[in-house]
Amino acid sequence: MSKFVKLAAVLAAGVVALGSAASAKTLRLNHNNPEDHPLHKSMQFMAERVEELTDGDLKIRIYANAQLGTQRESMELMQNGSLDMARSNASELEAFEESYGALNLPYIFVSADHYYDVLTNDIGADILASSEDKGFIGLAYYIEGARSFYANKAIHSPADLKGMKIRVQPSPSAIRMVELLGANPTPIAWGELYSALQQGVVDGAENNPIALTSARHGEVSKFYSDDGHTMIPSVVMISTSSWNDLTDEQKEAMRTAARESMDFHREQWDAMSAEAVETAKSELGVEFVEVEKGPFIEAVLPMHEEAAAKSPVVADLIKRIKAAAQ
């Protein structure tokens, strides 16, 4: 679909939203996951809480399955004020705001608790607020577990990745990580990945276990090698212009609903991720491979120093994130 057609769809959706309740303000939120995905359910939770907290004066209408554009298109529409809200992830956001790059570094988090502590403390808050002058503001982080490699062969060490074409998100950090591990990074849109794996355009990909079931990647990739290289959150954002149009009471309701939805999401994510692993094993025949992480860590650790050298902002965030683990 062309950008013109998608922009028309966004504008038409806005007309529908405005007409649905003349007295209420309705924000449009676009994302690229299906409606049964935990991310969608968490955004629904947030929308319901916003409506409750504002007595129906502020509503969020959610468009799943990239109805109003891809992640990148959503970002551009949000930046110019044509779209109120979007859900993307830190990998793609790195291209729009450098601060998110600190969250994308492999093995920067030592545990799931360290990861969530960073997202919910002042470090996470500073990153969410850092893009206000770039047209959008972060509201909430949704964890997506640890990302690992999956393919049609087991990957026990970086040597097994040598020469493989691995799908990555369009993120400098993701590309650099895969290069250091000896594979060929290949950016491909999420919606095209299933066929790319099926047809051999790429040899493998990297994501959390839910991708095996929700996107059915377990049908075309039968080995999930649990190296847990990154923990990259999704981020729910609002256009700076839409945020500035809200009253102080509406802003407070949005902040409260966003924070509550983060805890709601963490609880359901852990349960659904465990369920996805069992489904991938029993129904799709995926083999889960435990790996020794040491060689992976050693190969990609230079990225921390490289990222710090390029940006004093990222350097400070890296220092703070590591200190939070102590």
Which pLDDT belongs to residue 21? 45
Q: For the whole prediction, is pTM greater than 0.85?
A: yes
Is 37 domain-assigned? yes
Whether 103 contacts 233, CB under 8 Å: yes
Whether 303 contacts 105, CB under 8 Å: yes
Give 161's contacts (C-beta < 8 A, 6+ positions apart). Answer: 149, 155, 178, 181, 182, 183
Domain coverage including residue 256: 3-89+135-141+237-263
Whether 145 contacts 273, CB under 8 Å: yes
Which pLDDT belongs to residue 19? 47
Which pLDDT belongs to residue 277? 97
Which pLDDT belongs to residue 20? 45
Is 314 domain-assigned? no
Is 71 domain-assigned? yes
Which pLDDT belongs to residue 216? 95
pLDDT tens series, the chain, 326 aa: 555 555 555 555 655 544 444 578 999 999 999 898 999 999 999 999 999 999 999 999 999 999 999 888 999 999 999 999 999 999 999 999 999 999 999 999 999 999 999 999 999 999 999 999 999 999 999 999 999 999 999 999 999 999 999 999 888 899 999 999 999 999 998 889 999 999 999 999 999 999 999 999 999 999 999 999 999 999 999 999 999 999 999 999 999 999 999 999 999 998 999 999 999 999 999 999 999 999 999 999 999 999 999 999 999 999 999 999 97
Is 178 domain-assigned? no
Is 70 domain-assigned? yes
**What DSSP string runs through 53-69?**
HTTTSEEEEEE-TTTT-
Provide the domain count of the chain. 1
Is 128 domain-assigned? no
**Residue environment code for 176-196, b if the CB has 16+ CB neighbours within 10 A, otherwise e:** bbbbbbbbbbbebebeebbeb
Which pLDDT belongs to residue 10? 58
Handedness of CA 155, 156, 161, 167 (dihedral sign): positive
Other beta carbons within 10 Å of 226: 17
Which residues sit opposite 289 in a β-bridge?
A: 225
Is 270 domain-assigned? no
Which pLDDT belongs to residue 109? 97
Give 278's contacts (C-beta < 8 A, 6+ positions apart). Answer: none
Which pLDDT belongs to residue 12? 57
Is 61 domain-assigned? yes
CA 52 to CA 74: how far, in whole Å?
27
Which pLDDT belongs to residue 202? 98
Which CATH number does the domain housing residue 54 bear? 3.40.190.170
Which pLDDT belongs to residue 11? 56
